[in-house]
Structure formats: C-alpha cells, structure tokens
C-alpha cells in the first residue's frame, strides 16, 4: 500500500497530533497525563508498577501504539488486547518470544513486569501461517495507581495511514483482494469506485481499518480498543 512518509498519532490525554518519534517524549511531559495520574493516585486502590509499552508492527512502521500496562497483569492480557485492537480474524494461535520466530518463547502467564526487562524487546506473533509480527518494548515505568480498572490503558495510537484510491485521487476506504492477488495492484478504492467495482471472487472489497493486518487472512476489523 502507498502510505505517507511520516506517521503521526494522537495523544489520548490532550488530543495533540504528533509524529511517531515525538510521542514518547510528549507522553512523559503531557500536562493532561500528569493531571490524570495525580487524580488516580488520590483515588482508591493500591500503587503498582505501571509499564509504558511502545508497540509497533514489525513491517509497517505506520502502525504503532503507546500503552500503559499493570506490571502484575499477565502477558495473556496483552495478547487479548492486541487481538482486539489489531489482529483477531480466525482465532489463530499466538506467542510472545525474545528474538522473533525462532527465539525463546515467553509464557502467556508471565507477569508483564517480569517479562519486560531493561533492553529486552518482545516479539508477538499472531497466526503461524499468514503471520503478523508485533514488536513491544517497555520504554518507561512509574509507581502509582492505574488510570483504569482494566489491565491496559491506551495512551496514544497512530492516525490511519492516508491511502489513495487507485482509480482517482480520493481517499481509499476499501481494499480489493482480487486486485492484489490476481492483478498485482494495490487494490485501493474510494467509496464510489468500490460500489461499482467488478471483482467478487474474493468476497468483494473489504473495508480498510486502522490495523496492520488489513489484507491478511480473513481480517476485516473492527480494529477498535477492547475497552
């Protein structure tokens, strides 16, 4: 797919639009995030180790997340989150490992604070046929009360890549698999051209959502946070 050169994303706390490279530094200094943390720390509950995770697709740099995860939550919770926001299509198997496909597997029951050691990057693999690889690294941590009752909080996410219809210069919102596989084209279509598109052998055009798994296996979204 044709994508814009510099990926940008939105801070969940203040709504600022920032580059991929600048988001981590922004989150450390964001006044609205500091205010949210202060409010949480004054509420009920106990302080925990909370990990700032930088998550990015291994192949397509336009897709990335910044998550805050409770250190005492298991990797299984992160697996569920990634499936919901990016990956789930057909109930495929998945795993975490250090070193990628042939690296050391990390069990799903491992606490996040035990799995994410300084300098260690985990690879999450979903589907061992048409695989999606996600790279995850803890780039910061804090001691305090969580911002949510859930194990993971979405702090920032990439904006949807700007894609252009292959028939005109309008934004692409649909993807034709038959064009991709049989005609060796990008298969990107706007609403108007998708409506009149002749290809149906692969089930017709599918909606484009904010996920690196678009166009793979049976994925059709919705690519929304699970909570």
Q: Per-residue DSSP letters for the chain?
A: ----SS-EEEETTT--EEEHHHHHHHHHH-HHHHHHHHHHHTSSS--EEEEEEEEEESS-TT-EEEEEEETTSBHHHHHHHHIIIII-SS---EEEEESSTTSEEE-TTSBHHHH--TT-EEEEEE-SSS-EEEEEEEEEEEEE--SSSSSEEEEEEEPPP--B-SSSSSBP-EE-HHHHHHS-S--EE-HHHHHT----TTSS-EE--SSTTTTSTT---------
Question: Are 98 and 194 found together in one domain?
Answer: no
Residue 81's domain comprises 8-158
| pTM (two decimals) | 0.91
Question: In this predicted structure, what is the pLDDT of residue 122?
Answer: 98
Question: Are 178 and 93 found together in one domain?
Answer: no
State mean pLDDT over 77-85: 97
State mean pLDDT over 45-64: 95
Question: Are 129 and 178 found together in one domain?
Answer: no
Total domains in the chain come to 2
1: in domain: no
């Amino acid at each position: 797919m044709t994508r814009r050169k510099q990926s940008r994303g939105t801070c969940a706390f203040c709504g600022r639009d920032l580059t991929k490279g600048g988001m981590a530094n922004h989150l450390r200094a964001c006044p609205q995030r500091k205010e949210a943390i202060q409010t949480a720390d004054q509420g009920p509950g106990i302080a925990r180790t909370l990990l700032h995770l930088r998550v990015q697709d291994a192949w397509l740099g336009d897709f990335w997340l910044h998550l805050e995860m409770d250190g005492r939550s298991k990797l299984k919770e992160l697996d569920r989150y990634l499936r919901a926001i990016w990956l789930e299509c057909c109930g495929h198997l998945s795993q975490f490992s250090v070193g990628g496909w042939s690296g050391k597997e990390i069990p799903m029951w491992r606490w996040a604070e035990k799995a994410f050691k300084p300098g260690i990057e985990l690879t999450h693999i979903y589907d061992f046929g048409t695989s999606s690889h996600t790279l995850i690294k803890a780039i910061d941590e804090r001691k305090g009360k969580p911002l949510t009752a859930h194990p993971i909080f979405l702090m920032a996410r990439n904006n949807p890549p700007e894609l252009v219809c292959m028939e005109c210069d309008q934004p692409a919102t649909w993807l034709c698999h038959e064009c991709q596989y049989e005609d060796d084209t990008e298969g990107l279509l706007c609403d108007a051209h998708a409506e009149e598109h002749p290809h149906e052998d692969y089930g017709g055009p599918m909606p484009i959502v904010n996920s690196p798994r678009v166009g793979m296996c049976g994925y059709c979204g919705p690519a929304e946070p699970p909570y």
